[in-house]
Amino acid sequence: GGDHTITYPILQALAAKHGPVGLVHVDAHTDTGDTALGQKIYHGSPFRRCVEEGLLDCGRVVQIGIRGSSYDPDPHKYCREQGFRVVPAEECWMKSLEPLMREVRAQMGERPMYISFDIDGLDPAYAPGTGTPEIAGLTPAQALEIIRGCKGLNIVGCDLVEVAPMYDVSGNTALLGANLLFEMLCVLPGVKTL
């Protein structure tokens, strides 16, 4: 729940316990902006603040589903400079993400990592109830491949953010969000599934 700003204090707490953590971040946006309306903390800046505070193991950050318009000719430059792996939505179109997740699993290794899932990573055809929808996103099946592909990793926390039910009278966005959260709970270490 909430906007993506909530991930920032969660990662502060987790890094205090575990040190810098890896991150699987599903989103339409990198959320590495600097300021908006003069404010440094807002839903488009949590991961820049996390980098500045040393909360992330930057070589183990993967951002999946990134797309949308930008005011910058090289919108992913900051992320690449930090060592993040940025996987644009175009690289995901019309294919299984299981091969990608094999690579991500190897990259994460056995050290602590976190899953942060912005519902706008999915195409608004499936999840219109969000504040910043972007066309040509991931499918629900791809979302499941990403989450299930994290099973066995040292997951120390997870979130699902940016669901805005008032923007979706069908209720499908909330339904999808609840199911994705359930899937995240199922891949936590020690959880037994059939």
Residue 193 belongs to some domain of the structure? no
Largest CA distance in the chain: 50
Using alpha carbons, select from 142, 175, 185, 113 the residue that is nearest to residue 26.
142
Q: How many CB atoms lie within 10 A of CB 148?
A: 16
Residue 62 belongs to some domain of the structure? yes
Residue 192 belongs to some domain of the structure? no
Output the pLDDT for position 194: 78
Cα 111 to Cα 119: distance, rounded to the nearest angstrom: 26
What's the number of domains the chain is made of?
1
Output the pLDDT for position 30: 98
Residue 40 belongs to some domain of the structure? yes
Using alpha carbons, select from 44, 27, 180 the residue that is nearest to residue 89.
27
Cα 119 to Cα 161: distance, rounded to the nearest angstrom: 6
pTM of the model: 0.97
Quote the tokens at residue 140.
């629900």
Output the pLDDT for position 102: 98
pLDDT digit string (tens) for the chain, length 194 residues: 689 999 999 999 999 999 999 999 999 999 999 999 999 999 999 999 999 999 999 999 999 999 998 888 899 999 999 999 999 999 999 999 999 999 999 999 999 999 999 999 999 999 999 999 999 999 999 999 999 999 999 999 999 999 999 999 999 999 999 999 999 999 999 999 87
CATH number at residue 73: 3.40.800.10
Output the pLDDT for position 1: 63
Output the pLDDT for position 17: 98
Domain that holds residue 143: 4-187
Cα 159 to Cα 144: distance, rounded to the nearest angstrom: 15
Residue 194 belongs to some domain of the structure? no
Output the pLDDT for position 125: 98
